[in-house]
Amino acid sequence: MTDVSTHTPHYVPRPRTTRGLRSPLGILALVLVVLILGVAIFCGLIAPYDPNKQDYNAFLEGPSAAHWLGTDHLGRDLLSRLMYGSRVALMVGFGAVGFAMFCGVTLGLLAGYSRGFLDDAIMRVVDAILAFPSVMLALGIMAALGPGLSTIIIAIGIADMPLFARLTRSQVLSVRERDFVTAALAMGARAPRIIIRHILPHILGPVIALATLQVGHAILIEAVLSFLGLGVQPPTASWGAILKSGFDYLELAPWISAFSGLAILMTVLGVTLLEDALREQMDPKSGAKT
Amino acid sequence: MRNFYVRRVLTALVVLFIVSVISFFIAFVLPGDTATAMLGEEGGLDPERYAYLREQLGLNKPLVVRYFEWVGGVLTGDFGVSLRTNEPIGPALLRRLGPTMQLAMMAMVFAVCVAIPVGVVAAVNSRTWVDTAGTLLALTGIAIPAFWLGIMLMLFFAVWLKWLPPSGYVPIWENPLESIRLMIMPAIALASGLMGVIIRQVRAAMLDVLTEDFITAARSKGITERQVILRHGLRNSLLPVVTIIGLQMGHVMAGAAALEVVFSIPGLGRLAVDSIFFRDFTMIQAIMLLFAFIVLLSSFVTDMVYARLDPRIRYD
């Protein structure tokens, strides 16, 4: 990349610094993501209260010096609950996407490399799963497996898997025609070696960009499921569940709904912006060169 | 060319078959058994009634036989009866489809009306703060939890300002004005994600189109920049937008589930949520199948329209 930038183009329309990781939005993305990760890792140290400790003198109290974001209907400190909620959100986000990525990439590699019948069979199943809107599929799987943190991870993971399979397959189809794959074949390398050593490293970029985006999507679906009462069960502090209890007291204590939704928005916006910036950075056509 | 259509139809049928298998079998992973669920806690203790009910429901037959009986029924429009209300599922689904469709349609109109101008303006002012603001709006739309946006709108416009009724549903043919007033907030909330996706699509398509030779040619003819952008640029950027709307239709309808709960709209999504709580297996099967069918149908129609409009697709 460095010697590309030493070639000054004849005509530079405008300084190209408004996109990519160094753009204002890229910086905002990094700030949000680092903030959320920091809170999730250190919430044991920085949270002002125990997330499940009830203060019997403070039910549904508005924001104050003692409780910065107020308290809920059981007198629990909202800020502390939201801080601990970031752990649930990130566990679901990374867990579900990790699951989806592992299964999806494996299927995509198999389909793209084998072509023929196996390819058709895998892709039709992938199409079928993709036909279910992800919220509906996750709802159905949650109903089948019962509520809980691990089932929510599996449910969202299954719903997200087809995207990874499709992306991987299309990438494999273009990479497998390249000369270095032919060369590896000519040298007598077997399929597993070609797939893992030669093809996989070339397709990881787009897969990681998709994974970043899907972490946000998974957090959103978890919030919906928990809000509907089918996700993480109380008393675990999950943002969706907090929002649900806040909605029951919307007129009395609007801050519960407002702040818990803001927590979700900040996190998902952070990863969505990060994906956008990463893609700009990786895609030379959109010009993130500095 | 005919080959393209035939192949597309065949693939769609295969996918539809797999979809029906998934919808049917997901209900059998559900904990508990239909007969127990119907009899309730006390009834389940009476082995004779239990055995009778299992016989009645055909639960003693092998799963594969039951699958084909179910599919046979679905093909003739018979989805069976709801375990919760005992009414036929087909008419119940039809009744619930209306509110969800209205909500989705209104959301699409809102999304398109905001997104196209924003996308065009962002592309024309590419790499300025206007573009950055457009991108931020698009990504916020994608990142915002729609049901939370709905709750916040309800808080501001219904609870505090009292401009709009907080929640409820009136069929549009009974009282069109009230029906639309009730749906404004949930529709705006539902529109947010779609709006974000369309803004990005319009912006990207416009940026692409604006570098084409025919744009330079149009400019060199001396017509105004406004005409270049609207007549030549936008027109050629809209095709992908049509595709996106087609592909998102089913997802927007499903995404309405939480909003239907928040705003007490008797739509399909709320029916799905209620059915899960009541272990209404037959209803869950039917709803899942219906949603997947809507998604497949809209993407099929989109593909067909696209292939008609752009002959290059057919020869791939």
pLDDT digit string (tens) for A202-232? 888 889 889 998 999 999 999 999 999 888 8
| Residues B161 and B258 both lie in one domain | yes
| Last-in-domain residue among B22, B57, B89 | B89
Domain annotation covers residue A170: yes
**Do B111 and B189 have their domain in common?**
yes
Residue B111 and residue B64 share a domain: no
pLDDT at position B121 is 92
pLDDT at residue A284 greater than cutoff 60: no
In this structure, what token pair is assigned to residue B201?
């699509």
Number of domains in chain B: 2
Report CB contact under 8 Å: B152, A257: yes
The answer as to whether A8 is a domain residue is no
- Residue A5 within any structural domain of the chain: no
A228 with B257: Cβ contact below 8 A: yes
* Full 3-state SS string of chain B: CHHHHHHHHHHHHHHHHHHHHHHHHHHHHCCCCHHHHHHHHHHCCCHHHHHHHHHHHCCCCCHHHHHHHHHHHHHCCCCCECCCCCCEHHHHHHHHHHHHHHHHHHHHHHHHHHHHHHHHHHHHCCCCHHHHHHHHHHHHHHHCCHHHHHHHHHHHHHHHCCCCCCCCCCCCCCCHHHHHHHHHHHHHHHHHHHHHHHHHHHHHHHHHHCCCHHHHHHHHCCCCHHHHHHHHHHHHHHHHHHHHHHHHHHHHHHHCHHHHHHCCCCCHHHHHHHHHHCCCHHHHHHHHHHHHHHHHHHHHHHHHHHHHHCHHHHHC
Question: Mind telling me how many Å the CA of B42 is from chain A's nearest CA?
Answer: 23
Interchain pair A261, B152: CB under 8 A: yes
> Which of A23, A144, A250 lies closest to B159 in CB terms?
A250
Is A131–B135 a contact, with Cβ atoms under 8 angstroms apart? no
The answer to whether B284 contacts A143, with C-beta atoms less than 8 Å apart, is yes
Residue B4 and residue B307 in contact, taking contact as beta carbons nearer than 8 Å: yes
Q: What's B153's domain CATH number?
A: 1.10.3720.10
A205 falls within a domain: yes
Q: Looking at per-residue confidence, does B250 or A65 come out higher?
A: B250
- State the smallest CA–CA distance between residue B17 and chain A in angstroms: 9
Q: Confidence band (pLDDT; 50, 70, 90) for A69?
A: confident
Residues from chain A that touch B139, judged by Cβ atoms under 8 A, are: 25, 269, 272-273, 276
Instruction: Please answer yes or no on whether A132 and B19 come within 8 Å at the CB atom.
Output: yes
Q: Which residues of chain B have pLDDT under 50?
A: 316
Whether residue B253 lies inside any domain: the answer is yes
B316 domain-assigned: no
In this structure, the answer to whether residues B139 and B286 fall within a common structural domain is yes
Predicted local distance difference test score (pLDDT) of residue B185: 94
pLDDT tier, A161 (very low <50, low <70, confident <90, very high otherwise) = very high
Q: Is residue A105 part of a domain?
A: yes
CB proximity A23 to B under 8 Å: yes
Distance CA(B139)–CA(B124), nearest Å, equals 19
Note which residues in 159-218 of chain A have CB less than 8 A from chain B: 216
- Residue A71, strand partner residues: A77
Residues of chain B with C-beta less than 8 angstroms from the C-beta of A146 = 31
Inter-chain CB pairs, A–B, below 8 Å: 144
A101 touches chain B (CB under 8 A): no
Are the beta carbons of B47 and B35 closer than 8 angstroms?
A: no
Residue A5: per-residue pLDDT = 46
Inspect the interface and report whether the beta carbons of B262 and A247 lie closer than 8 Å.
yes
Q: How far apart are CA B53 and CA B30, in angstroms?
A: 18
Closest-CA residue of chain A to B299: A131
Q: What angle do CA B118, B202, A285 make, to 5 degrees?
A: 115
- What CA–CA distance (Å, rounded) separates A109 from A119? 9
Span B223-236, pLDDT tens digits:
888 888 887 788 87
Burial of A192 (0-12, 13-18, 19+ CB in 10 A): exposed
Residue A3 lies in a domain: no
Flag whether A2 is in a domain. no
Domain that holds residue B85: 2-89
Q: Give B22's contacts in chain A (Cβ within 8 Å).
A: 128-129, 132
Chain B: residue whose CA lies nearest to A15? B127
CATH, residue A140: 1.10.3720.10
Chosen domain end from B36, B62, B89: B89
**B121 and B77 within one domain:** no
- Assigned domain for B55 exists: yes
Same domain, B116 and B71: no
Nearest chain A residue to B252 by CA distance is: A133
Residues B54 and B35 in one domain: yes
Which of B24, B56, B89 is at the close of a domain? B89
B170 and B305 share a domain?
A: yes
Q: Is A249 on the interface with B (CB under 8 A)?
A: no
Q: Which has the closest alpha carbon to B269: B109, B85, B131, B146?
A: B146
Interface test with B, best of A139, A141, A264 (most B CBs within 10 A): A139
Largest CA distance in chain A: 77
Model confidence pLDDT, tens digit, residues A238-279: 899 899 888 988 888 888 899 999 999 999 999 999 988 888
Q: How confident is the model at residue A245, as a pLDDT?
A: 87
Q: Which residue of B11, B126, B148 to mutate against A (max A Cβ within 10 Å)?
A: B148
Q: Which residues pair with B88 in a beta bridge?
A: B81
A7 in any annotated domain:
no
Looking at residue A62, its pLDDT comes to 76
ipTM value, please give it: 0.86
On chain A, the residues whose CB falls within 8 A of the CB of B19 are 128, 131-132
| Structural domain containing residue A171 | 30-282
Q: Smallest Cβ distance to A135: which of B257, B276, B284?
A: B257
> Is pLDDT above 80 for A95?
yes
Chain B closest-CA separation from residue A182 CA (Å): 24
Residues of B in contact with A136 (CB under 8 A): 254, 257, 272, 287-288, 291-292
- Residue contact A134–B251, C-beta within 8 A: yes
Residue B315 lies in a domain: no
Answer whether residue A2 shows pLDDT above 50. no
Average model confidence (pLDDT) for chain A? 84
Average pLDDT over residues A141-169: 89
Residue A104 to residues A68, A141, B170, B251, Cα–Cα distance (Å)? 43, 18, 43, 21
Q: Could you tell me if residue B314 is inside a domain?
A: no
- Among A98, A82, A100, A7, smallest CA distance to A40 is for A82
pLDDT band at A3 (very low <50, low <70, confident <90, very high): very low
Nearest to A145 by CA among A156, A134, A161: A156
